[in-house]
Structure 1
Amino acid sequence: MTLEAFADTIVPGVRRSPDDRAIAGVCDDPGAVEAGALELLEHPATGVTAGLGPLSQALNVHAAAYAARREQTLDPDLPPFVALSYEDRAALVLELTAPGHPEKDGWVLLALFSNMAYDSAAHRSTAEALADGHPGLLAMGFAKPDADGLWRFPDYSYGEELAKRHPNTTASGSPE
C-alpha cells in the first residue's frame, strides 16, 4: 500500500474504489498504479526488489516524522505515508529526492520506475499492453501495431521521412 501511494504521488491516478486510500484520487484518469508500477518494481530485472521492503519502511518513518513536524495526526489504521494527504505526500517526496538527501538514490529509483511503468510499460510486451488498454501508452497516443503485430509507420512518426529506407530492408522492416 505504501509503494502504491508513492507511485501514485509520482503519476497520480483515479481511485479504484471510493475507499481506496493508497491512490489519492487527484486525477480522473488512471496513473502509475493502474499502469503496473508495483508489477514493474517487483520484476527481478529492476534490481530493486530486495530493497522494496526497507524502502517502504523508511518511507513510513519519514512520513511519520514529517507529520510530527507539522503537528498532524495520522490515521493509525494506515501506513503513515498512505495517511498523508496528496499534497503532503508530494512535499515529502520532494524532500526525499532533493540534492544532498542521503537516501536520494533510492527514492529517485522508485520515482523513475513509477514513471517508467506509466510511460513505457517496460514490464510488459508493448503490443499486449496496448491491447489491454495500458493507460500511459494510450494517453500518449502510442500507435498500435498492424494486425500482424508489427509496427509500420507509412506516414512517419514525425510527420516526415527522416531518412531514406535502406535498399536491403525487407518487407517486414528487417535488414537482410
Structure 2
Amino acid sequence: MDTTLTIDQVHTLEAFADTIIPGEKRGPDDRAIAGAATGGGAVASGAIELMLSPEGGLADTLDSLADGLNEHARDYAARVGLTPEPTVPPFVAMEFADRIALARELLDPGHPERELWVALAMFSSMAWDTGAHMHTTDALAAGHPGLTTMGFMPPDPDGLWRFPRFSYGRPLAAIHPRTTPRGDPQ
C-alpha cells in the first residue's frame, strides 16, 4: 500500500479535519488549521494518523480525496467569487466560514459524492472522540485533546478500568458466580 501524500495533500486533509472539529493553530504560519477554537481539535487528536492507518481502509484513497477537495474548493471559489491564494492548496486558502459552507455542500444528503466526504468526516470525529489510532491508555497519558476535553477517566493504576459507581446508581445485573476476578467467564 502506498500512502505517500504530498505536503499539499496533507495540509488539505488537515484543513478538512479542522473544519469538522476545529482546533487552535500550531503556530503563526499554520494555514491548514484555521484557529477557530481553543485547544486541540481533530488534527491535534491524530486525524491524519487515523486516516493513514491501514485498518481504516482510507489510506489508499487519501491522495484522491485531497485532490477532490481542492477541485471542489476551486469550483466553490469560482461560484462565490473568491480568488484563491496560489501559494497554498485551494481548500487550505479558504476562510473558515467558506470551508464550513463547502463541507456542508459535500456532506449534504443530496450530494453525489457524500459517502466519500462522510467517511473523511467520520475519521476526523473518531480521532477526536476516541483517539482510535492509539491505545486509550497511551492517548490519555499523552494528554489526547478530545479524550481530555470530554473528561474521559483514566484507568486504575494497573491499567484496567473499573467503575465503582454504576451509571444507573446500582448494578444492572448480579455477577455470575463463575466469573473470575479478572471478569472472565469460566
Do the two structures share a fold, i.e. TM-score over 0.5?
Answer: yes
* Structure 1 runs of 4+ with >3 Å offset: 157-160
Q: Distance in 2 between matches of 1:35 and 1:163?
A: 36
Instruction: Describe the shift of the 1:63–1:158 C-alpha distance in structure 2 as closer, same or farther (beyond 3 A).
Output: farther
Give 1:158 deviation, angstroms.
4.8
Decide which of 139, 144, 166 is 2:176's aligned counterpart: 166
Match of 2:47 in 1: 37
Q: TM-score, normalised by structure 1?
A: 0.96
Q: Distance in 1 between matches of 2:68 and 2:77?
A: 14
What does the per-residue CA deviation read over 1:100-154, in whole Å, with 9 as the maximum and x for residues that have no partner? 2111111000000100010011111011111111111111111101111111111
Q: TM-score, normalised by structure 2?
A: 0.91
Decide which of 126, 139, 147 is 1:129's aligned counterpart: 139
Which deviates more from structure 2 when the two are superposed, residues 166-175 or residues 44-53? Answer: 166-175
Match of 1:110 in 2: 120
Aligned residue-pair number: 176
Instruction: Describe the shift of the 1:31–1:170 C-alpha distance in structure 2 as closer, same or farther (beyond 3 A).
Output: same
**Identity within the alignment, %:** 57
C-alpha root-mean-square deviation of aligned residues, in Å? 1.2
Q: Distance in 2 between matches of 1:159 and 1:62?
A: 50
Q: Distance in 1 between matches of 2:128 and 2:170?
A: 27
- Gaps in structure 2 of 5+ consecutive residues: 1-10
Instruction: Describe the shift of the 1:140–1:160 C-alpha distance in structure 2 as closer, same or farther (beyond 3 A).
Output: farther
Find the residue that maps to 2:99 and give its secondary structure.
helix
Give 1:159 deviation, angstroms.
4.1
Give 1:175 deviation, angstroms.
2.4
